[in-house]
């Protein structure tokens, strides 16, 4: 040890650095890394809160994979993700393009479109439950004005998930819009100038300059949006509790129910770990197939 220290003197700031990092590292270890690893161990035990845990191997995973509700929740989560991602990306990109145009009052519009982002998902989910009310909700009342008989929205097995998706697009579009907007502003002007000299039209500029130059932004939004959509919980808890007939039962709701309604800690931990693996896999696959992302 002494010879090691003699051979490589520690940089003079070493102890300061460790001192400065200690709160963050302590937090990351005690409240993130250690619990994440503990989840793996707990997932191999039968643990009803209050009693001692007993090791049961992969039983929890076996049980979970044989549980129809797990597959239902997985399908629903996938449905939610596949539904919300393209919709949210399209809406927020369109809004960003519009707000990047040379028009007045852009700050006003931006303020409006971003407004839902700052609100608590629980409070606005409550508001949307009322908007979606089949008989007296404003959505069906407005639809009735133009002669459309609206569906039962949250009470319909078919429409419940689309309803949650629409509400979530509304809640999240402003966030991605602002990120897209910053991405658009970051595209070097001379590229467009060059294209204009070459006589390019709006569409080919959009197709060959805007989209490729925006692709790092798009990729970033895609990654964080998909991670977020696998964790959807608040709006579902408030609007449907997973119903009707499990039509909106998603993975995080199942984890919550298993752990805090039925107190099957082991099985909840197993499912949490499965969710983690799915999120990691989906993220890695996106990085693997990210050749469409154009870095300068």
Partner 1 sequence: MSERADVSQPSRVFSPAARRSGIWAKRMSATGRLLLHAVLLITGFLTILPFLWMLSTSLKSEGTVFIYPPKWIPDPIVWENYLEAWTFLPMGQAYVNSLKIGLIVTAGSLFTSTLAGYTFAKLQFPGRNVLFVLLLATMMIPGQVTLVPSYILYSYIGWIDTHLPLIVPPALGGAFGVFLMRQYYMTIPADLEDAARIDGCNPWQTYLRIMVPLSGPPVSALAIFTFMGSWNDFLGPLVFLNSQVKFTVPLMIASFQGLYSTNWSLLMAAASIALIPVLIIYISAQRYFIQGITLTGMKA
Interactions with partner 1, residue window 138-157 (CB under 8 A): 138, 141
Angle CA(59)–CA(64)–CA(68) in degrees, nearest 5? 145
Least Å distance, CB 136 to partner 1, is: 5
Which window, 72-80, 148-156, 157-165, 273-281, contacts partner 1 (CB under 8 A)? 273-281
Q: Binding residue for partner 1 (CB under 8 A) from 55, 71, 105, 292?
A: 105
Report the alpha-carbon distance of residue 131 to residue 182 in Å, rounded: 32
Q: Binding residue for partner 1 (CB under 8 A) from 89, 160, 164, 268?
A: 268
Which window, 64-72, 82-90, 128-136, 157-165, contacts partner 1 (CB under 8 A)? 128-136
Residue 287 binds to partner 1 (criterion: CB under 8 A): no
Q: Binding residue for partner 1 (CB under 8 A) from 143, 279, 282, 293?
A: 279
Q: Binding residue for partner 1 (CB under 8 A) from 90, 196, 292, 294?
A: 196
Least Å distance, CB 181 to partner 1, is: 7
Report the alpha-carbon distance of residue 147 to residue 142 in Å, rounded: 9
Report the alpha-carbon distance of residue 186 to residue 195 in Å, rounded: 17
Residue 204 binds to partner 1 (criterion: CB under 8 A): no
Interactions with partner 1, residue window 215-234 (CB under 8 A): 217, 220, 224, 227, 230-231, 233-234
Residue 90 binds to partner 1 (criterion: CB under 8 A): no
Nearer to partner 1, 49 or 58 (CB): 49
Distinct helix (H) and strand (E) counts, the chain: 15, 2
Maximum CA extent, the chain: 86
Q: Is residue 236 within 8 Å of 122, Cβ to Cβ?
A: no
Q: Which residues of 73-88 are buried (b: 16+ CB within 10 A; e: fewer)?
A: bbebbbbbbebbbebb
Q: Binding residue for partner 1 (CB under 8 A) from 63, 78, 152, 192?
A: 192
Q: Is residue 74 within 8 Å of 251, Cβ to Cβ?
A: yes
Residue 78 binds to partner 1 (criterion: CB under 8 A): no
Residue 107 binds to partner 1 (criterion: CB under 8 A): yes
Residue 17 binds to partner 1 (criterion: CB under 8 A): yes
Least Å distance, CB 236 to partner 1, is: 11
DSSP 73-117: HHHHHHHHHHHHHHHHHHHHHHHHHHHTSS-S-HHHHHHHHHGGG
């Amino acid at each position: 040890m002494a010879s090691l220290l003699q051979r490589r003197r520690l940089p003079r700031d070493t102890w300061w650095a460790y001192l400065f990092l200690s709160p963050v590292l302590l937090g990351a270890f005690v409240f993130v890394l250690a619990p994440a690893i503990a989840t793996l161990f707990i997932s191999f035990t039968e643990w009803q809160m209050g009693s001692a845990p007993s090791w049961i191997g992969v039983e929890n995973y076996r049980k979970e994979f044989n549980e129809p509700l797990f597959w239902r929740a997985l399908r629903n989560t996938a449905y939610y993700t596949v539904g919300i991602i393209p919709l949210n990306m399209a809406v927020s990109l369109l809004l960003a393009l519009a707000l990047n145009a040379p028009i007045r009052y852009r700050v006003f519009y931006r303020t409006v479109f971003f407004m839902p982002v700052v609100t608590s998902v629980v409070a606005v989910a409550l508001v949307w439950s009322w908007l979606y009310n089949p008989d007296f909700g404003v959505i069906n009342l407005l639809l009735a004005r133009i002669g459309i008989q609206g569906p039962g929205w949250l009470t319909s097995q078919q429409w419940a998930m689309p309803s949650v998706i629409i509400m979530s697009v509304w809640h999240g579009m402003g966030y991605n819009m602002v990120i897209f907007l910053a991405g658009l502003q970051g595209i070097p002007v001379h590229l467009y100038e060059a294209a204009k000299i070459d006589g390019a039209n709006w569409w080919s500029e959009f197709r060959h300059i805007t989209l490729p130059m925006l692709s790092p932004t798009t990729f970033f939004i895609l990654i964080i949006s998909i991670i977020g959509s696998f964790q959807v919980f608040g709006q579902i808890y408030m609007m449907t509790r997973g119903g009707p007939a499990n039509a909106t039962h998603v993975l995080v709701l199942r984890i919550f129910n298993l752990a805090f309604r039925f107190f099957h800690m082991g099985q909840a931990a197993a499912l949490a770990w499965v969710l983690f693996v799915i999120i990691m896999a989906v993220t890695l696959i996106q990085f693997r197939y990210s050749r469409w992302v154009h870095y300068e």
